[in-house]
Structure 1
């Protein structure tokens, strides 16, 4: 889904990385989990609503985006749909300021779509990524990402991306995104209710999902996604190699040309090829950032799995 098509037109201004953490209400988390559970084949995507308070971004509500792959949504105007949702929330005196979007998968389109959000009226917008596979094993994993100022400055122009400017700004796959800490928040009444429910629930009836040692399903999904990213990055590297060969051939021909044949249209072809190369390097940068994120997720998940295996081994030896 193209998130950028849902962002209303606004003045394009540079963003200041002012927020330090993200507060997410429990109701928002439950809505995202419910939406991800209902979307059996495609990723769950939706908008985030909230407010900015000092250096904190508070997410107090959310709403789902219709699935574009369903036949009944092919002719749906998504911009009008989003405007109607926000208008209705405003009528009931609810928070209606859109501060980003959520997705149940980390992909290249997510990174590219963060540009119009951070360049829109709300500069503190984020992308909230929810891992559904980990939730099925008892973990609730939410990560909040923002583009760094250097990445935003170099990626805001989709038609042309200069590798030289990115190199001067020290922009690479590690500095493309900034991860913000996510803090779950409940009201005092909800906390009191949870304490009462916990006391009334018997120990034998509580879920032991956190003791589940099976990690093959989640690791297989993440490794498949990682393989796809590596294949895409290898294709970008091959295109870069072909560009280098064509560049050497072009320069060799240019040196052999006569001075009276400078304006034979050859420079236009060379400029078009250079522009295609810049777009390819922009795609490779986003792909490398996706691979880096997936490697971090696999490392964290396997570390937890190894810790549980060692604990289970110690318990088994004592018995």
Structure 2
């Protein structure tokens, strides 16, 4: 293992490991799956060389937050039974001379919906108990199914890790520490690595040679019906010319609206807490004022004064709700917003490119 002082700068994932995670996530989609990843820490780069899935076991809720939703698959990495299973698997890997250093865990996601308490507590468990340099790999199955691999690596930031360890998520502590929802995760760049043998094989792949000269196609239909074009491995993807709106855009907008509704609910709950504190504080001030007048009267009559701290026994201020849920929801809203921005950017660019054909009158007027 590398020295602890060297900060992590990147995560290198073997192509076979990526394929195993994709297969595991796709087979169980839309159910959340989790697994362990092993590898080595070399010079600030985390090299992931193997992985294995976690079995789903029923476990009692160990979260110190009452709002943690029960999800056996998502909570599997920190289950006691899976901790024993993971240690046994790593021991067997070590016996066959395979990298057997636990460097984190992986999970699947759908439409970027992975920022929740289960992910936070799993990563906190790994960074606190197993390996402080552990990472969480998130494979978004819905995004990967569109042809581009969506695999991201995250770690909890030191500032958030300290706040989560002490469970300090009230307004006063957050204001002192300056912790924001952007500070929850630290994302690391991912590199997909192939062995030299696989790289050599990929470079040897080539398109089949044409038997003779071919005529240029007269139309798009003729180009699509050409059998040589279909069989070629380097045929351009004509789907990129489609003007249809990405089908995932509507679903992302729905998820974004749900997160915004959750944000409004959390805001209303906090405002209700502030109103409750204001009412109780008013009662306490009235009681203190009344007690001071009474003590002034008793002092005039040379009678013993009554204690003025009895309000702590008579009145009870409501407990401030944790702001952790609001922070996670705000981070999830940012995630959905970025995804929508990526979806809209590609469609908007194509719309501007063909604007002259769609709105010929407006273009001519300009």
Whether the TM-score (by the shorter chain) exceeds 0.5 is yes
Q: Which category of TM-score, normalised to the shorter sequence, fits these structures?
A: 0.7 to 0.9
Query: Partners in 1 of 2:154 and 2:258 — Cα distance?
Result: 22
Deviation at 1:36, TM superposition (A): 1.3
Aligned to 2:326: 284
1:1-319 aligned at under 5 Å gives the runs 18-68=7-57, 77-105=81-109, 106-109=114-117, 110-158=119-167, 160-199=168-207, 204-205=230-231, 206=233, 211-212=239-240, 213=242, 216-257=246-287, 258=291, 259=308, 261-264=310-313, 266=315, 269-270=316-317, 273-274=318-319, 276-277=320-321, 279=322, 281-307=323-349, 313=354
- How big is the alpha-carbon RMSD for the aligned residues of Structure 1 and Structure 2? 3.1
Q: TM-score, normalised by structure 1?
A: 0.79
129 and 308 in structure 1: CA distance in 2 versus 1, 3 angstrom threshold: farther
Query: Partners in 2 of 1:17 and 1:265 — Cα distance?
Result: 55
Query: Partners in 1 of 2:54 and 2:250 — Cα distance?
Result: 28
CA contact (8 A) 1:131 1:142 kept: yes
76 and 55 in structure 1: CA distance in 2 versus 1, 3 angstrom threshold: closer
CA contact (8 A) 2:35 2:105 kept: yes
Aligned to 1:5: none
Gaps of 5+ in 1: 1-14
222 and 60 in structure 1: CA distance in 2 versus 1, 3 angstrom threshold: farther
Query: Partners in 1 of 2:283 and 2:324 — Cα distance?
Result: 28
Give the SS at the match of 2:179.
coil
Range with bigger deviation, 31-40 or 121-130: 121-130
- Provide, for residues 100-121 of structure 1, a one-character-per-residue CA deviation record: whole Å limited to 9, x for no partner: 2222222313234322222234
Gaps of 5+ in 2: 58-70, 210-227, 292-307, 359-366
- Count, aligned residues: 291
Q: Bigger relative contact order, structure 1 or 2, given CA contacts below 8 A and separation 6+?
A: 1
Deviation at 1:92, TM superposition (A): 1.8
Q: TM-score, normalised by structure 2?
A: 0.70
Give the SS at the match of 1:119.
helix
Q: Work out which of the two has the higher radius of gyration on C-alpha atoms and give 1 or 2.
A: 2
CA contact (8 A) 1:138 1:209 kept: no
- Provide, for residues 142-187 of structure 1, a one-character-per-residue CA deviation record: whole Å limited to 9, x for no partner: 11112222111112234x4343232222211122222211111111
Aligned to 2:224: none
